[in-house]
Every structure is written in structure tokens, then in C-alpha cells.
Amino acid sequence: MALLDTTTWHGMIFSDGWTEAAGGTMAAMSPATRQEIGRVGVGNADDVTRACVRAAQAQRDWAATSYLERAAVLRRAGQLFEQYADDIGGWLIREAGSVPPKAEVETTTAAQECYEAATLPSHPTGEILASGQPRLSLARRLPVGVVGVIAPFNFPLILSIRSIAPALALGNAVVFKPDPRTAVCGGVSIARIFQEAGLPDGLLHVLPGGADVGEALIADPRVRVVSFTGSTAAGRKVGEAAARHLKRAHLELGGNSALIVLDDADLDLAVSAGAWGSFLHQGQICMATGRHLVHERIADRYVEQLAAKADHLPVGDPATAQVALGPIIDEHQRDKIHSLVTASVGSGARLAAGGTYEELFYRPTVLADATPTTPAFAQEVFGPVAPVATFADLDEAVALAGDTEYGLSLGILSRDVMKAMALADRIPSGIVHINDQTVDDEAVAPFGGVGVSGTGSRFGGPAANIEAFTETQWLTMQGDISRFPF
């Protein structure tokens, strides 16, 4: 039987097994065909409360479960992501509009996230401290209890499993709210994997829903840590609500990342890197190359070649045709993209390619002569749009690259890596790639942004995950009770 056989989960949420939701059901839609392709349960505030109560109960036993068993569940989950990659990949293509290589990156990375998480239960849990008293003084790491995870639609698998897997591995329970637009590929699939991997009941709850479900999750007193990935606007609200309830929130937010192309870079390779950075997954990536900064000596040729490439990239339904770009997730996102492109042209940018759409299929777009006030250059577009600005010298490149509130990723292309390194040192960014474009992720790498791209918290690697999903306890132990002056 396929992992995602609909008879298992049709119209249900995963909360202590598959169950009917108080919030009812909703359609899972294909953005390419606008057809209903499944039906999922949708959570509401009552479902959140029930899930959190049950998660808090189940977490106590799980934290006491042998580290060997917790690691084994995570390893099995990783194997299942590999075994069912085609099944899950099919939903990533149909429901999220992913092209097959992007879907494969998601399932491969999801497996890797689970394998990395499987190393966490056997990790040392603390340190023996110096003490002025004759006693054992320890700093040890304990699970936080219940972790709330909220994820966006664009990489629905990676951006949720990167929190769910380490949180579970470290002895927590998880209540997870996927984006309703990707509730099957980024929600049901994860529930089914952990069900098959033998995760004990009650530890993972998957409640698709909108902002109201997210707000209820943050407010629930049993949730001690919130792991949020999404827009800066929603992240601010999540951060404010978490602060009100005095709980930690890890916020991974938007970006408007620059790719700096120096005049000594190989032009063909630079154009290919730039196209990939801006057009992969229709540009719906937090680390997408949102600003191309190209040395004025090569800028005309760069724009010409990038526009020619954009004009030749096939756009269509990735479920039925071999295409480079699939659909935008919905009309709202498409209209936002188009209004930014239109406003950019209105403010003086030159449309070198694209700028048109049919239904949810937006043509890859190149905007030449962009300046810091060009709307598609100044703001995160989250669409397949490559605005190109020029610079005359390195100081100008630094000023342009740094002229943003965001600070997620930065790419620098040059044959002189030391020059690129010196440039990187001058531009604030959570991630820097020299001789690569801005989009990349690995389960072992500390992922996160500065500025309004997030709180600078990190996912990836044992240090970041232990910091994110445990809390420190100071514990002392001595043989006899101390004598006090009174």
C-alpha cells in the first residue's frame, strides 16, 4: 500500500491517531489544475487544546524512553522518507507545484534531517561544573516539553521536519500546524512517516489550519517553545504573542538576498547561477536571489543572457510535463508578484523578459536598470523575478547589498575568492556562499538569518538543535544536608 493512500487519512487530522477534527475538513488543491486532489481535516482552537493536553501527557514517558529507542524511531523515519520518496514526491509536485528535482531535494533532505536527529538522543546532555562546595554541580539539558511548529507552503517538508525531527529526538512532543495549502505533502506525509516508524501515540499532532490555529498553539500554556518559519510580518506577530506568554520563539523569516557578480566572474556560469537563484520553485524561496548586483562592465551582457535564458525556460504543470517552473501557489501570491513587477516598470525598470502570466503560471521575469527604489528590488517578491542593478566599485556593491532590512543569504561570484571573502566580511548576512547563488540548505549546516530575516536562531547541526529544543537546568547533589546559621 502507498504511504499516502487516501483511505487512511481522508478528511482527518492526526492527533492520537487519525481522527475527525472539530474544525471540519478542507480541500487539498492542485495549483496547476485548480482541481481538488484530496480532503484533509482542519484544526481549530479546541483541536489545539486537546492535542496539547495529550502531547504533554505522552511527552513524560517519551522523555524517559531509552535513548536507543528514540534514535531508532528517527532512523526508521529517515528510511521511510527514502522508501516513500516517490509517493511523497508526487504530492509535492501536485499539491505544492514543485518540479520533480525540487521534490527530490525535499524528500532527500527530510531523510537526512531524521538521520541527523537520530544522533541527538546519544549526545552528552550536560557538563560537570566547578563548585565552591563539596558537591556535584551539573548543567544538564532537558527537553522543553511540548514544541509548537508552524511552517509555510514553499518547502513544506524540509521547513517543518527540520524542527519536528530534532524536537522529537530530544524527548519532546510536537504539535505541528502546516500551511493549509500544503497540508498533505507537508503535513499528512510527516504524520504517516512517524506512524509507520513506530513513534508512540500522542507525541506528534498534525493540525492543518490558518493563522487562528497558529495563534491558539502559541497561546497554549503547555507549549514551551515555538518554532516558526514564514513571513516577517507573521513572524512579528508570533514573536509578540510568544513574548506575551513568556515562551521562546525561534523565528525564521523572509529575505531579499543579493547575488553580487564581480567583473572577473565567468559570465555563462554566473548567468546560470543567477537564473537558478531567482527562478527555482518559481522564486518562492526565502533565500531566493531577490537582487542581482552586477558590475557595470558586464551588466549589459549579463541582462541579455539572463533574459534569453528566462525566455527559453518552460513553464507548466510539473505533474504532466517536463518544465523548469511550475505554478505559483495561489492567486493572491500571483497578484502580489504581478503588482510588484508592474510597479517596478512604472518606476523606470526595463522589462527584459517575462512580466506575463496565464492562470497561476508566471513567466520568469528579468527587470533591468533596477535601483534601490524599484519595488521588486526593494521588497521580497517571492516569485520568479530577477531585478538587476549595477555597481561601479566594491564600495558601491557593499552599499547596495547592505541596503535592506533583511539578512538571510548572500552569494558572491568572482574568480578571486579572497576578494569575495573580504566583500562578505562587509555585508551582514546569516548565510554566505562564495561562487554559488543564494539558495542552499543542508541538514548539518546552521541555517538562519539576521535583521528582519529572523531572531538569529539556527536550525541544523547538534549545537543549534540542542540549543533550540532543550532547556538548561542547574542541578547540585551532595551526600548530607548542609548546616545553616539558623
Nearest distance, CB of residue 278 and ligand NAD, angstroms: 14
Residue number closest to ligand NAD, CB atom? 214
The piece of 148-156, 242-250, 312-320, 414-422 that touches ligand NAD (CB under 6 A) is: 148-156
H/E/C letters for each residue in the chain?
A: CCCCCHHHHCCEEEECCEEECCCCEEEEECCCCCCEEEEEECCCHHHHHHHHHHHHHHHHHHHHCCHHHHHHHHHHHHHHHHHCHHHHHHHHHHHHCCCHHHHHHHHHHHHHHHHHHCCCCCCCCEEEECCCCCCEEEEEEEECCEEEEECCCCCCCHHHHHHHHHHHHCCCEEEEECCHHHCHHHHHHHHHHHHHHCCCCCCEEECCCCHHHHHHHHHCCCEEEEEEECCHHHHHHHHHHHHHCCCEEEEECCCCEEEEECCCCCHHHHHHHHHHHHHHHHHCCCCCEEEEEEECCCHHHHHHHHHHHHHHCCECCCCCCCCCECCCCCHHHHHHHHHHHHHHHHCCCEEEECCCEECCEECCEEEECCCCCCHHHHCCCCCCEEEEEEECCHHHHHHHHHCCCEECEEEEECCCHHHHHHHHCCCCCCEEEECCCCCCCCCCCCECCEECCECCCCECCHHHHHHHHEEEEEEEECCCCCCCCC
Pick between residue 157 and residue 397 the one whose CB is nearest to ligand NAD.
157
First to last CA, the chain: 71
The piece of 55-63, 96-104, 125-133, 230-238 that touches ligand NAD (CB under 6 A) is: 230-238
Nearest distance, CB of residue 121 and ligand NAD, angstroms: 25
Note if 252 is an active site residue. yes
The CA–CA distances, whole Å, from 256 to 132, 164, 334, 393, 436 equal 51, 26, 18, 21, 16
**Binding residues for ligand NAD restricted to 65-94, rule: CB under 6 A:** none
Q: Is 220 a binder of ligand NAD (CB under 6 A)?
A: no
**Binding residues for ligand NAD restricted to 328-357, rule: CB under 6 A:** none
- Please check whether residue 338 is in contact with residue 357, taking contact to mean a CB–CB distance below 8 angstroms: yes
- Annotated catalytic residue within 113, 116, 252, 380: 252
Residue among 105, 159, 199, 271 that touches ligand NAD (CB under 6 A):
159
What CA–CA distance (Å, rounded) separates 128 from 118? 25
Nearest distance, CB of residue 72 and ligand NAD, angstroms: 29
**Binding residues for ligand NAD restricted to 178-217, rule: CB under 6 A:** 179, 210-211, 214-215
- Annotated catalytic residue within 286, 405, 442, 467: 286
**Binding residues for ligand NAD restricted to 372-391, rule: CB under 6 A:** 380, 382
Q: Is 47 a binder of ligand NAD (CB under 6 A)?
A: no
The piece of 6-14, 94-102, 223-231, 390-398 that touches ligand NAD (CB under 6 A) is: 223-231
Give the count of beta carbons closer than 10 Å to the beta carbon of residue 382.
Answer: 25
The piece of 38-46, 191-199, 226-234, 475-483 that touches ligand NAD (CB under 6 A) is: 226-234
Q: Is 168 a binder of ligand NAD (CB under 6 A)?
A: no
The piece of 126-134, 249-257, 267-275, 389-397 that touches ligand NAD (CB under 6 A) is: 249-257
The piece of 91-99, 247-255, 265-273, 294-302 that touches ligand NAD (CB under 6 A) is: 247-255
Q: Is 106 a binder of ligand NAD (CB under 6 A)?
A: no
Nearest distance, CB of residue 270 and ligand NAD, angstroms: 24
Note if 185 is an active site residue. no
Pick between residue 303 and residue 341 the one whose CB is nearest to ligand NAD.
341
Nearest distance, CB of residue 151 and ligand NAD, angstroms: 6
Nearest distance, CB of residue 254 and ligand NAD, angstroms: 3
**Binding residues for ligand NAD restricted to 268-327, rule: CB under 6 A:** 286
Residue among 202, 255, 411, 460 that touches ligand NAD (CB under 6 A):
255
**Binding residues for ligand NAD restricted to 462-481, rule: CB under 6 A:** none
Active site positions, annotated: 252, 286
Binding site for ligand NAD (CB under 6 A): 150-154, 159, 177, 179, 210-211, 214-215, 229-231, 234, 237-238, 252-255, 286, 380, 382, 408, 449, 453-454
